[in-house]
Amino acid sequence: MEDNVYIQNDTSVLYNLSPINIGTMEVESLTSYIARLSEEHCVNVNTLINEILIKEIEKEGLYRRRNLSAIYKTSTSKFNGLTTAAEKHSKILNKLTGRNDLQYITLIPYKGIINKCYLLSENKYWCPICLEEMKDSNDAVYEKLIWNFQLVDICHIHHIRLENKCTY
């Protein structure tokens, strides 16, 4: 699919960064997208969240102020899964980036189809070979949504166990 299919408007607060591999098993996760968006804007993730996302969330009235800090201290499964947080954040990011496809980098399209119990891991996991190959090929380095599933502990490409501890 061409990227311009997803553009909602000509101007946006944040860059209209294309999510990676929508519609495939290799789709990027929402938390990875937020990290890449932060990198594109030359700010850390906390700055993007605190200075842009939280302000927009408050403006839209999606959360009460006292709940915001608790939301951002939760695990990545809240943002990548079938939760209200995933719905609201993908909606806000769609608006800020001028996109309309960011719900597809969460499990929101499968709401009502799959059960959310024990679906996603509370911790981050990754395939170090996949990440190294992305880096070596000068492609965008990103975290795949599939790496968030509790039942996925082996990389389907390299057939090695996913890691959750940085070797550096």
Query: Is residue 80 within 8 Å of 30, Cβ to Cβ?
Result: yes
- Contact status, residue 58 vs residue 64, Cβ threshold 8 Å: no
Q: pLDDT (tens digit, 0 to 9) for every residue of the chain, 168 residues total?
A: 344 444 444 578 899 999 999 999 999 999 999 999 999 999 988 888 888 888 888 787 766 555 555 555 556 778 899 988 889 889 999 999 999 999 999 999 999 898 878 789 888 899 999 999 999 999 999 999 999 999 999 999 999 999 998 776
Q: How far is it, in rounded angstroms, from Cα 90 to Cα 138?
A: 27
Tally: H helices and E strands in the chain: 7, 0
Position 135 scores a pLDDT of: 95
Return the pLDDT at 1: 38
Asked if 31 and 80 count as a contact pair (C-beta separation under 8 A), the reply is yes
> Quick count: other Cβ atoms within 10 Å of Cβ 4?
8
pLDDT for residue 63: 65
